[in-house]
Structure 1
């Protein structure tokens, strides 16, 4: 005979199918109170807490929704450690909506302890380390990620692996001479950000039309006048233009990054504020055109939590460093917990 939790779970599934999200959420909470180890109910709690997709577009959660969903997902991965969907959603909530980068590093480290050969946690950890300017640590994880002992990645993972590899390379080159540490109020980059606080970063589209397109047009016109007299010449010119566009776009990406470094630096400062829960952005920069543009790109939940951090007005220590997990430790974290329970 089915117990009460099982009967309620059947009701939850019916309510979900009918689109009665709040009622389904209320029942899920009843189930998890009765059976704290009901993984499916915890996962449904997370799903029903977050806004529903409308016309295929996912609405952004509030701070309360993001925090509640993450708390539920912690129980899911504790009970079902192979649930990759819950690991991924938890990582998104921590980074994009809560801004808790230190916790996100630990979150993905726990996933690595479940499946050390999975490349996805490494991809996510490397991306976070780059945001914090920790390039030596990111490079070490890159070596592990491309190790022959790792699981064969699928196409999407391969693309993401190449993306973070390029991310580390470009960022390290940009900050070759000095790595911006926003917790240091005397860092020379703050003066540069202050001078450029009225300038928004250049968009890729604007850069494309003002820098890449004119060069391609000029060279393409010359090639057309020289080679475009025949059908084969026209095809050759077309291929030349395609190659030029691709090559100049790649070459110009580094220049665009340098031109926008003041904005990238401010993004790091905001990340540091969010993950440390302390402030470091100078008063004269906060509220500027650059600052408003940068913070405006963040999610509603992130902005809400960040505003609370600003209101607390607690200054970050200039010696602050993010707490990093032991990246070399990939031993199961709940295997030990199970042994202690026995």
Structure 2
């Protein structure tokens, strides 16, 4: 739904309140936090809303739906291989022979690879944005049960590419949703639950919590 700010707050709550999580989940948690922050910075409020028929994201999908997504490995090879070959060829002339030249050449190659990986990851996100938009629309259909993708787009190369890489159960659900033919109702808007409802059950009071902290501080 594009609520990256809300997601970031909820994830940070796990760390701030020292919630018990398995050691194996810690790395995944920080990875998810970085992913949410990157998504929030990258979208800047312009994320794709599949429930809006006239959203610009649909036009981006139409322009790229006849081709599969670009591979990050392909972009990395195209962006870094010419420079790596040039560095290897010119290494003897620039750094000379011997262990010193070998070490300097290795450092330059390593730096080029790191820069190429970072650049390829960024370019992949930009070039494959239509694919991410279509994936969001497909997930929207799977979660709501309403159809928003038109027939021609379902027969496109990009749609079939994404569909083939989904689990069998997910594909079967999508087929049932498509067969049902339930279009998205007019004026439909996403409705989210009250994420703070559990605080009422726990009788949580911000003012009372602050008073307790103040009293403890005064006693010290």
For residues 152-201 of structure 1, what are the alpha-carbon distances to aligned partners after superposition, in whole Å with 9 as ceiling and x for unaligned? 762x4332123212311332233225110001111111011112110110
- Residue 306 (structure 1) shift: 0.7
Structure 2 unpaired stretches of 5+ = 203-220
- Residue 220 (structure 1) shift: 5.1
Cα 1:207–1:308 shift into 2, 3 Å: same
Distance in 1 of aligned mates of 2:159 and 2:32 = 26
2:170: which partner in 1? Answer: 302
RMSD: 2.5
Distance in 1 of aligned mates of 2:6 and 2:45 = 18
2:13: which partner in 1? Answer: 144
For residues 200-228 of structure 1, what are the alpha-carbon distances to aligned partners after superposition, in whole Å with 9 as ceiling and x for unaligned? 10112222222233334334544553124
Q: Given the two structures, how large is their TM-score scaled by the length of structure 2? A: 0.80
Cα 1:160–1:215 shift into 2, 3 Å: farther
- Does 2:184 correspond to 1:316? yes
- Residue 328 (structure 1) shift: 6.7
- Residue 292 (structure 1) shift: 0.7
Q: Does structure 2 retain, via aligned residues, the 8 Å contact 1:170–1:254?
A: no
Structure 1 unpaired stretches of 5+ = 1-131, 334-342
Cα 1:153–1:243 shift into 2, 3 Å: farther
Of the candidates 134, 159, 165, which is equivalent to residue 291 of structure 1?
A: 159
Cα 1:152–1:229 shift into 2, 3 Å: farther
For residues 227-253 of structure 1, what are the alpha-carbon distances to aligned partners after superposition, in whole Å with 9 as ceiling and x for unaligned? 242212202311321232123212331
Distance in 2 of aligned mates of 1:218 and 1:175 = 36
- Does 2:119 correspond to 1:251? yes
Distance in 1 of aligned mates of 2:16 and 2:73 = 37
Q: Does structure 2 retain, via aligned residues, the 8 Å contact 1:202–1:260?
A: yes
2:56: which partner in 1? Answer: 188
Distance in 2 of aligned mates of 1:272 and 1:226 = 55
Distance in 2 of aligned mates of 1:212 and 1:177 = 32
2:195: which partner in 1? Answer: 326
2:217: which partner in 1? Answer: none
- Does 2:138 correspond to 1:276? no
Moved over 3 A (4+): 150-153, 215-225, 322-325, 330-333
Q: Does structure 2 retain, via aligned residues, the 8 Å contact 1:180–1:265?
A: yes
Cα 1:328–1:145 shift into 2, 3 Å: farther
1:240: which partner in 2? Answer: 108
Distance in 2 of aligned mates of 1:171 and 1:150 = 24
Of the candidates 52, 65, 75, which is equivalent to residue 207 of structure 1?
A: 75
Q: Does structure 1 retain, via aligned residues, the 8 Å contact 2:76–2:116?
A: no
1:24: which partner in 2? Answer: none
Q: How many pairs does the alignment contain?
A: 201
- Does 2:81 correspond to 1:230? no
